[in-house]
Amino acid sequence: MKSSRRTFLKQAAGLTAISIAGLDAAAVAGSATPAVAQGTGWYDRPMRWAQLSFVEDDPGHYDLGFWLDYFQRIHADAALLDAGGCVAFYPTQVPLHYRSKWLGNRDTFGEIAAACRKLGMNVIARTDAHACHQDVYDAHPDWLMVDERGSKVRHPSDKDFWLTCALGPYNFEFMNAVHKEVMTRYRPDAIFTNRWAGSGMCYCEHCRENFRQFSGLDLPRTRDPHDTARRQYMAWHQQRLFELCRVWNATIEAINPAACYLPNAGGGALSDLDMKTLGSLAPAAIADRQSRRGLMAPWMAGKAAKEFRSTMGMKPIAGLTSVGIDDQNRWKDSVQNVEETRLWMLDGIAHNFRPTFTKFNAKPYDRRWFPVVEEVFRWHHANEKYLRNERSLARVGLVYSQQTAAYYGWPDAAARVEDPGLGFYQALIEARIPFEMVHDGLLDEEHLHPFRTLILPNIAALSDRQCEQIGAFVRNGGGVIATLETSLYDEGGKRRDDFGLAELFGASFAGQVEGPMRNSYLNLKKDPTTGAFHPLLAGLEDAGRIINGTHRVHVTAGDQSMHSPLEVVPPYPDLPMEEVFPRTTDTHEPGVFLRDVGSGRVVYFPVDIDRTFWEVLAGDHAKLLRNAVVWATNESAPLEVEGKGVIDVSIWQQKDSITVHLVNLTNPMMMKGPVREVIPIARQVVRIRPTKDGRKVARARRLVAGGEIPFSEQADAVIVELPGIDVHEVIALDLES
């Protein structure tokens, strides 16, 4: 605990050394330690978190006894409770700290915090930093957010409020005073702050002045990352936010040395916050991806868990699930279909989230969510020893890159950077391959040690050092799969003359990226020396040709005599129908590069096969992507599951057991929730090849259906047959001691 606190301070202070590399992996690496294993703070203990956020009229109007009873019944062991910031729910003395009009002489926060403590729960005080009332405006107009035109910004939803500046005295002084008072009065275990990182770019006098001091420049008026001021801003913005974490954390620790500031963030390639720095600083975190909206697969819950784990290691991560509808129209007082809530929570649990429900308004209008959260939490409690995971046994890592999103992806990072990753994610789900997410800032040997294969889905922006790390990984026997423009840019988004990984790919950039292409194909070619199809084409032997991606990089093969099992058929007219025939059939332009490099294997697709898969979901591409992973990995998988349906799998080691989670996503509402009902799937044969350190499997259990289940052992595998799965099953193998 002591050391992790010191680490927080020292490392956050070290961030001031960053000059222009806000998201630059190499610069941040200098100040970061590897993601640590579980620490020893209080935050390791609670496994189920309950967030109850008050609304202003809750004081005096809500049923405290009901909530305490519920928390107890569901075995929640940490409570996230509203203290203040935007609205104070305790008798604050901080000037301008707005008290709820319904508070009267009460201490609503203090009362529930004390009661939760009495139940043995950890208490985390929640504050909100993004909005203030008119009196704050009048007293400190400089605390408010200012837009590009120089106007202070009214809250878009509630016109009684103004938006605050996240990077100036409102947070550094006022919110710090609020945190100090909350800590002094109540000594909670932590504080976390909602909407603490601002509501967009701020042009207030403090931001202008502080940025000028940092860079000598005026605040940028463009989001173009190639603009000098914008680049400086990106670095300064990160530095300022982590400095804020440091200031708040110091205030909190000075009062309660066991307490800390818990940052919350969305995570992932598109996150504004550098997740690597966050992962190295915070002892625990709150993952703020609360539910599905729009077109989104339910595995996004597990993806968030993996993204946080990629930089936080096995530190505790509370995965928020909104029981409310989190749609952009924000019907905050309604609740989701319970099946949707269940699926979202279970997929997070399968990937090591500590389940956390979040409910706004302590006077629930719609109570249908209570039983489903109770069911999931009680199950989680009953099986806790099998859910205290020590490490993932996945051997495949899917890389994501914030620097690629920031410097290459602009202005459309979702399509250029996120979509290729989503395509590969979906392919791995369909292939039932357990995998982890890997942050591109952590490609060193220690972080890559657990993995056999790395996937680089159009990870365009990579530094020389990162390319060297990937090369070393392959030379040590690892497999790499890369697509499209991977490594064609440096870490700052500047295009190279050739791929940073050209040697690994066996391909060089020929100067052109083509697309979007219509009506282009890939011919499937037998190896002329063996007369057989390459394993990459398994399951496609009768196809002849399949659809291509929609973007391709023109490349030259390093070895002109190389055989590629896929050959590009360039685009040709798709109308008039009479003209739809290929003008050339044998181009000998490789559609894939497959290489043995030392004891490692490399697959390079010069096309956006992964992004196209996300767009089109062609089964042929699913097979290609799966086969590429299997061929590059070149070892028996730790987990294989045979049967029908779409399931999200994970494999974990605990102290004395191995668990396999199988989350049934098979549902007509899989790609766009909410699901209406669970569609059970039939028999699944599960082959587990765990690293048991020589320990024998004593028994196998089903943690959802319950009871022991027969297993057989065959060579190096333990085989379990499940008669079926409703929404979730966990196979637990108890190891002999």
CA distance 303 to 648: 10
- Provide, rounded to whole angstroms, the least separation between the CB of residue 149 and Zn ion: 14
Three-state SS annotation for 560-603? CCCCCCEEEECCCCCCCHHHCCCCCCCCCCECCEEEEECCEEEE
Which x/- pattern, by CB under 5 A, does the window 203-242 give for Zn ion? -x--x-----------------------------------
Ranges within 167-186 binding Zn ion (CB under 5 A): 168
CA distance 80 to 51: 4
- Provide, rounded to whole angstroms, the least separation between the CB of residue 327 and Zn ion: 30
CA distance 637 to 653: 15
- Applying CB under 5 A, the site for Zn ion has a residue count of 5
CA distance 587 to 116: 70
- CA nearest neighbour of 133 among 101, 109, 91: 101
| DSSP class of 42 | G
One-letter amino acid of 73:
R
Coil, strand, or helix at residue 384?
helix
- Choose between 187 and 206: whose C-beta lies nearer to Zn ion: 206
Strands 435-439 and 396-400: parallel
- Choose between 204 and 507: whose C-beta lies nearer to Zn ion: 204
Region of 172-180, 198-206, 210-218, 271-279 interacting with Zn ion (CB under 5 A)? 198-206
- Provide, rounded to whole angstroms, the least separation between the CB of residue 16 and Zn ion: 19
- Provide, rounded to whole angstroms, the least separation between the CB of residue 96 and Zn ion: 17
- Provide, rounded to whole angstroms, the least separation between the CB of residue 24 and Zn ion: 24
- Choose between 164 and 404: whose C-beta lies nearer to Zn ion: 164
- Choose between 207 and 301: whose C-beta lies nearer to Zn ion: 207
| DSSP class of 408 | I
Tell which one of 202, 393, 433, 718 touches Zn ion (CB under 5 A): 202
- Provide, rounded to whole angstroms, the least separation between the CB of residue 170 and Zn ion: 8
Is residue 569 within 8 A of residue 587, CB to CB? The reply is yes
- Choose between 165 and 566: whose C-beta lies nearer to Zn ion: 165
- Provide, rounded to whole angstroms, the least separation between the CB of residue 245 and Zn ion: 17
Q: Which residues contact 621 (CB under 8 A, 6 or more apart)?
A: 423, 427, 546, 547, 609, 612, 613
The pair of three-digit structure tokens given for residue 737, joined into one six-digit string: 């001691």
Ranges within 149-168 binding Zn ion (CB under 5 A): 165, 168
- Choose between 175 and 641: whose C-beta lies nearer to Zn ion: 175
One-letter amino acid of 722:
L
The reply to whether 566 sits near Zn ion by the rule CB under 5 A is no
- Choose between 207 and 456: whose C-beta lies nearer to Zn ion: 207
- Provide, rounded to whole angstroms, the least separation between the CB of residue 217 and Zn ion: 16
- Choose between 202 and 553: whose C-beta lies nearer to Zn ion: 202
- Provide, rounded to whole angstroms, the least separation between the CB of residue 200 and Zn ion: 10
Region of 197-205, 268-276, 388-396, 488-496 interacting with Zn ion (CB under 5 A)? 197-205
The pair of three-digit structure tokens given for residue 534, joined into one six-digit string: 């390459």
- Choose between 141 and 371: whose C-beta lies nearer to Zn ion: 141
CA distance 541 to 414: 34
- CA nearest neighbour of 298 among 677, 647, 5: 647
Angle formed by the axes of helices 228-255 and 176-186, nearest 10°: 20
Contacting positions for Zn ion (CB under 5 A): 165, 168, 202, 204, 207
